[in-house]
């Protein structure tokens, strides 16, 4: 009899890791991990391999596979909750994207949602051209998954696709297959190579979802510079980020609310700045330059903003005489240690190959943001004529 029970216990110990179990109503199983890429994949010319990994508040650190309807049925997926799909982009070395876990954790901490991580490491590594080609097939597979999730209770408007780099355009491709009815797409630094001159049908576009936003953080290198969404956010002018050698990610992704599809703007550019240290928040002031006299070609000026202990610089292009513009507005960031701007130095920095023309600035005004801050009244400099010399002026309260 003892041998009989020993055999049952042994059999149970062998079967247990392979079976699904229910604990407190939660379905658990062996955790799914990112695929491991090998350079043999290039030599073997392996086809695109994709796996979909589900994280919820019931399993926030142990991903469940949901490749088909049977997997979905036996997972913690809840069709009554919103679903966030995270899609990484091109991978040079085949390593796991280090930011995915952090983003998934932040999403689950902020709201009760299904988080689906799209792992296409095998098809996104090594040759960029091949990754672009594979992205089309990837989009088809994601569309099939969304269809399966909808058969388990999800609705089109409950989906939020989050794609970085090449993954952003994959999100757009998926959205087009659903005729723009998916709830939201967030493009994190959408890829530039092979997409900068592509048509709206070949890249991320405002028509790909009810609400499309894009965050540009590397548009001078590998990211796209043109607007591709209803609202495009350009962090620090959309170019190199302070003390950041990789893509800057925002865990505080915008949520759709108070917005209607028939009143959404298209291709609106929004510029915001960050500091180089967490939490990356900075203060801002609005610089306004009202000018009268201009030259016969564009000229560049360099402005130095000086506080008691720090200095900040800004390069501006002054339009030519034929321009209809009469005002330049720029938002300038500064951290708390910068202090108040006391004086301004302006220098004409046009090329020596071109003749310099006098620039008459009627008024230069600096206003702290928000503009209704009564403790920091606007300050101005009036009647500046800039030619060859460097102009140094102290700010005073505006008249």
The CATH number of the structural domain formed by 283-397 is 2.60.60.20
Location of structure tokens 């959309």 = 238
The DSSP code sequence of 65-76 is E-SSHHHHHTS-
**What is the model's pLDDT at position 42?**
57
**CA 219 to CA 303: how far, in whole Å?**
24
The pLDDT tens digits for 121-130 are 988 887 888 8
Sheet strands (E) in the chain = 21-23, 26-28, 51-55, 64-65, 83-87, 114-119, 159-164, 184-188, 211-216, 231-235, 268-272, 283-291, 299-306, 311-318, 327-334, 343-348, 359-368, 379-386, 391-394, 396-397
Domain ranges of the chain: 20-272, 283-397
Question: What 3-state DSSP class applies to 9?
Answer: helix
**Buried b or exposed e, range 320-333, using 16+ CB within 10 angstroms:** eeeeeeeebeeebb
Per-residue confidence at 324, pLDDT binned at 50, 70, 90? low
Helix 166-177 and helix 128-150, axial crossing angle in degrees, nearest 10: 40
pTM of the predicted structure, to 2 decimals: 0.66
Go through the chain and tell me how many residues it has: 399
pLDDT tops 70 at residue 323? no
Q: What is the mean pLDDT of residues 194-215?
A: 90
Confirm if 219 and 234 have CB atoms less than 8 A apart: yes
Annotation: CATH topology of 20-272: Rossmann fold (3.40.50)
């Amino acid at each position: 009899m003892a041998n009989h029970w020993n055999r049952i216990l042994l059999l149970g110990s062998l079967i247990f890791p392979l079976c699904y179990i229910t604990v407190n109503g939660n379905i658990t199983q062996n955790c799914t991990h990112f695929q491991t890429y090998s350079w043999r994949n290039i030599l073997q010319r392996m086809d695109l391999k994709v796996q979909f990994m589900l994280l919820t508040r019931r399993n926030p650190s142990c991903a469940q596979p949901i490749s088909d309807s049977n997997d979905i049925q036996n997972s913690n997926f809840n069709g009554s909750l919103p679903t966030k799909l995270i899609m990484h982009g091109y991978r040079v070395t085949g390593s796991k994207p280090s930011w995915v876990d952090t983003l998934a954790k932040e999403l689950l901490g902020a709201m009760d949602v299904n988080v689906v991580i799209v792992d296409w490491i095998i098809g996104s590594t090594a040759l960029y051209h091949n990754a672009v080609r594979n992205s089309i097939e990837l989009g088809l597979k994601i569309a099939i998954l969304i269809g399966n999730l909808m058969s388990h209770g999800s609705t089109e408007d409950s989906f939020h696709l989050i794609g970085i780099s090449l993954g952003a355009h994959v999100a757009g491709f998926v959205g087009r297959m659903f005729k723009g009815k998916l709830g939201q797409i967030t493009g994190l630094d959408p890829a530039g190579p092979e997409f900068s001159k592509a048509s709206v049908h070949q890249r991320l576009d405002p028509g790909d979802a009810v609400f499309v936003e894009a965050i540009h953080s590397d548009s001078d290198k590998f990211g796209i510079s043109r607007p591709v969404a209803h609202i495009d956010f350009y962090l620090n002018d959309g170019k190199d980020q302070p003390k950041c050698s990789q893509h800057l990610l925002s865990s505080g992704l915008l949520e759709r609310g108070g917005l209607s599809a028939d009143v959404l703007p298209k291709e609106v550019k929004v510029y915001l700045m960050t500091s180089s240290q967490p939490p990356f928040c900075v203060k801002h002031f609005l610089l306004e330059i009202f000018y009268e006299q201009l030259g016969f070609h564009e000229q560049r000026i360099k402005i130095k903003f000086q506080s008691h202990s720090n200095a900040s610089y800004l390069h501006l292009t002054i339009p030519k005489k034929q321009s209809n513009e009469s005002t330049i507005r720029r938002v300038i960031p500064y951290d708390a240690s910068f202090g108040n701007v006391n004086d301004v130095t302006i220098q004409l920095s046009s090329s020596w190959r071109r003749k310099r023309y006098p620039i008459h600035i009627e008024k230069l005004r600096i206003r702290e943001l928000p503009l209704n801050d009564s403790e920091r009244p606007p300050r101005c400099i009036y009647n500046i004529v800039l030619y060859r010399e460097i102009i140094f002026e102290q700010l005073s309260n505006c008249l």
